[in-house]
Structures are given as C-alpha cells and as structure tokens.
Structure 1
Amino acid sequence: MPDLAPAPPSPSPASAPERPGPGAQRAAAVLLGVGPEVAGAVFKLLGEAELRRIALGARALRARGPKAITEALEQFVTSMETVGGDAAAGDDLLREVAERALGADAARRAFDGVVPPPPPDEVLGPVSQADPEALAMVLQREQPQTVALVLSSLDGPRAVGVMERLPEKLRPDVLRRMATIESVAPEVLREVGQALSSELKAVVAGGMRKVDGKATALEILRRSPPQEQAQVLGEIERDDAQLAGELRGRLFTFGDLVALADRDLQLLLREIDGQRLTVALKGATAELRDRFLQNLSARAAEMLADDLAAMGPVKLASVEAAQQEIAKAAQELAQEGRITIVNPAEKML
C-alpha cells in the first residue's frame, strides 16, 4: 500500500530562519548590562520589529556562549570611542540630532525647557564683578529702571556698595522699582550688560529667572541710618503706600527686638501697651520672652509670666498684628533718636 503521507514542504524564502546582525547582538548585550528597569524603559520606546531584532540578538548571544556578551560589549565600546570627539560636544550634538529627527521647533522646546536659566552674575559677566564705585559712576547716568534691574541681579553686599555711591535723589526711585521686580529675562540682562560693558560674556537665552529685588532693597535699607530709612520710605509711600507699608513691616521685625540694648528695651516697654505685649509674646521665642521679662521689675515680670501662662489659644493673625505694632513703635523711637537699632553692617563695642 503506497505511503499517502504528504511530503514535508520545501523551505521557502519567507520561512527561512532570521539571522540577527552584529548590531542587534550589541544592543542586546547593552540592555542586559543596564538592568531590567532601564531596559524596560527602552523597550517602551521601540517598535515590534525592533524588539524582534533585539530578541534574536539575545538568542544569538546565548548560542555563542558565555564570552559572547563580553565581546559584544567590547565592540560597542570600540564603536563609541570612534565618535568620542563628537560626543564631547554633549548638549550641542544631541540638540543637532534632535533637530534632524524632530524639527527645529520641537528640539528648541525640548532643550530650552530643561536647561536651567543662567545665574545673574553669569549673564551680567564683568558688570557683576565691577568695582562698586566705578559701577555707580556708570549707573548714575542710566534710567532708574535700568539701575534697579542691575542692582537686583547683584549680590547683596555689592548692591549696597553701589547704592551708597549713587546720588541721594536717585536712591528712593531705584529702591521702589527694585521692590517691584520679580523676574527678569536673561536676554534683557544681557543687553543691559553689553550696553554697560563691551566685555560682557554672552550667554544662551533661557526662560524667566526669579529675582528678589524686594529682599535686596530691604537689605540696603537695613544698612541705612533710621533717619534715611524714614526719608526713603516716605518718598516711596507717596507713589505706592501699600509697598511702603510692606517694606516697613519687613524692615524691622518683632524678633529683631532681641538685639536691643537693655536701656532701649526698657524705654520701649514704657511706650507700649502691656496687653498688646502679652499677645505679641504668645508667639515669641523663649529668648525674646526672657529679654522682656529681665527688663521689667520683679512684680511686673511675675504678672506678665502669669498672664502668658493663663492665656488660652490666640489667633495667629492677632499675634502677628501685635508684634508688628510693637516693631513699628521701636522703629519710630529709633527714627526719633531715642533708641538705637543696630544695623547689620555696624559693629558695636
């Protein structure tokens, strides 16, 4: 009886076994080396055909034996060393590759979005390191907004040095403008710096950079005599009462009273309401409480301590309002010359 079983089909080109190239084997070796987490993240970015080639590469490595992975990695390292000169370009090279793959707009959005804005001293270049006296001579011929922009971007001590050398009539306007600056585009700083110094270093334009001009303005005011503080704040108040009030509130705080001399603290105690002091001390540090108690008579100190112990919960807003009221009273006494508030730049002997 003839054998009726069908003969096995002859292999066709479509069913021929796939053979992975050396590139697939190198890719498989690298993914094995970086570990499952990184490899999994890479797999999410690949298509099915690419995953298939890597799978075949891994199978080929297994068939070749234990040394196959090491050899594939060595080949990968060798291939990377041949482009070492280009790789050193780092950000520029990757940006160029991204532009070719994604287009110029998409690459710019991607790279400019992750590059941190340059610091102000890098943007201003030589201007940020200029001698305060020389810089003041240049800035006094500029518009107040330009002066405020530059000083807000300098470190505090240098800004103070420049401000002290500016004409007195210019200072209030500059301080007022500094206190309203919140962010500055590096392109603007670069243009200002180039106008002030031909040696200013150019930097890559980035996003907006936070500038705390108000903090720098406060530091300058703190280093000024009380009478000058009152004059400057008075001129600012004529244009912006709210800003002047905020600067006054932050210029000298209730916590700063701990640095007052005993004589000055005793004078302040005679000028303020005892009940307001009790509320204010509810949120004070132990050190500040002790300073007040030490400068009262024994009987008054005992009564104040008892009031504090017996006081129930107090709203934070009430405590802050009482503290601001007492701090303002201290400022007024200092402006009248009756007490001395020590400035950070002064040394007391």
Structure 2
Amino acid sequence: MANTPEKAGEKTKTKLRPVDQAAILLMSLGEQDAAEILKHMGPKEVQRIGAAMTQLNNVQQTDVQAVMGNFLEEVRTLTGLGVGADGYIRKMLVTALGEDKANGLIDRILLGGNTTGLDTLKWMDARSVADIIRNEHPQIQAIVIAYLDADQSAEILTYFPEKVRLDIMMRVASLDTVQPSALQELNDILEKQFSGNAASQTKAMGGYKVAAEIMNNLDGSIEADLMDSIKEVDEDMGNQIQDLMFVFENLKDVEDRGIQALLREVSSEVLIVALKGADDELKEKIFKNMSKRAAELLRDDLETKPPMRLADVEAAQKEILTTARRMADSGEIMLGGGGEAMV
C-alpha cells in the first residue's frame, strides 16, 4: 500500500463537495452495490447524487483515494458488526449529504419510519402534484405544500392561479402542527398502496420559515406579486415572511470567505448577468472578494454588457441563490438574511 502523509484516525482533506464525494464513492462501488444503496435514499438525495454523478469528469486519482480513505476511516470507528452502527450511519449520511438532507433519511432508516402517501409525491413532477391536489380543500393543499421540499413546492405553486397561491401561502405561514387525522385524510387521497398509519403525535409543519423558503424558490415576478398580496391581507405576516427570506441583495451580508467560496462555484457569464440587476454595494462586495485583475475584468464586462431582459437577470440571480443555498445546506458557507443566521 502506498504511503500517505495522514496519520491513522485522520481524514484526508479534499476540496470536493460532500455530494461529489458521495457520488465518487457510489461510482467506485459498481452498479449493483450502488443501486442497492440508492434504494434506501429519498428522492431528493437520489436526484442530488445522480446529478453529481453526471457532472463528474476527469476525476483525479488522488480525489478517489481521499474519498475512499475517508470512508474507510469512518468504517474504522465501528466497534463491531451492529455495534455502534447508528452513530456511524448518522455520521456517514451527514458527511455525504449534509445535515438537512440526511435527517429525513436517518429517520426512515434508524427510527423505522414508514413511507407514507405523502412521500410518494416527492418522486412526482410538479405539474402532476398540482393536478392531484387541485380540487382538494385549501387546507389540504397547504399541508402538501408545507410537507414537500421548498423548491418542489415553489414549482407546484406556479400551476395555480394567483388567488389560490395567495390562499395557500397564507395557510402555510399560519400552520404550526398537523393532527394525525389530517395526515391520514391526506394519505387517503393518494394511492392505497402508499397509505400509511397516521402518526401518533402531531407533526410540526409550516410556519413563516417554511413560507419564506418556498417564496425564495419562486420566480422573481411571481414572488413579488405574491408578497404584495400577502401584505395587503395581513401586513404583519408578510413582513415576518420577508424578514426570513434570503434574496439576491442579501448576499452583501454574507461573510467574505463565504462569498469567495460561492464565486468559485459560479460561472463568470452568470455572475455578469446577475450583477446587471444589483446595486453598487453588492457589486463592491463581489469586487473586493476577487483578485484585482479579475475584479477589473468583471467591471469592464459589466460596462460593455448591453441591457439585459429582467427575466434573464432574475434567472441568473436565482441560479446563484440556488448554488448559495446548496452550499449552505452542506455547511460550506453561512447565509445571513433578515437579521439572523441561516444555515
């Protein structure tokens, strides 16, 4: 075995994202073993790792060795088959997927949670989910929207009329807990083979933070109109949701190291388009976290770039925000918005 500078019990440092490390590990295992592991993952985890797999190219041998070495180091912490396994599984999943994404999977594996009818919706495209809940009571619609991941929920909302979106979002923001009977009713709507027994305890769901996360994932024009409508009906609710939202201008509140890490993940072309709609303060924040030469080139590009359509600028800003939220989910950066830290 080749000598390595790392001591026993130490991890090999790598710049790879956690999801890329998971992708490399699975691809190294081979199709059959990787497929068996993926069977135990939820839709978002599968989608993220699958996307990472398709983007891998020219992976360095040193990176593969680092990933495998770190995995084997985790395995070494086991005290024996089945002994200390829960702690190992938790650490491995959090390392591979990030804490937020891993939690649901951990619950299913370690706590024996059953897949419910609601969970099947996570595997469906947004239009199909919208069609399924379109004729249901608005409170049922709100529970579905609050239950699903924010990006999927935001896309589902685009298939509803403006007034319906307003009603659903206000109900999501007002949600706190959901009674078992309500969850059972919702499961009964779905296919019988995916119905599960209602939980014995109420489930925390919805609230201002969930509403803010969904709003963050909406297209700019839809988000702005919906926020205005919410404030017209309940100004305090609208303000509280807005305070929790992380929008493009909030990037000026991110620490410099976080901006530098984000810039390494964003293409120059996307950044140029996005900054066409930014104020001077945010532009200066970006410039000061680049090399002098790179900042000068970016300034020149911004000055020579012709006027852009608002839709293109918003799309570029949304792409950068999506990257920022992904990095925050994996613990690579910390987003600060609305006066409090969001990770």
The normalised TM-score by structure 2 is 0.42
The normalised TM-score by structure 1 is 0.41
Bigger CA radius of gyration: 1
Relative contact order (alpha carbons < 8 A, sep ≥ 6): 1 or 2 greater? Answer: 2
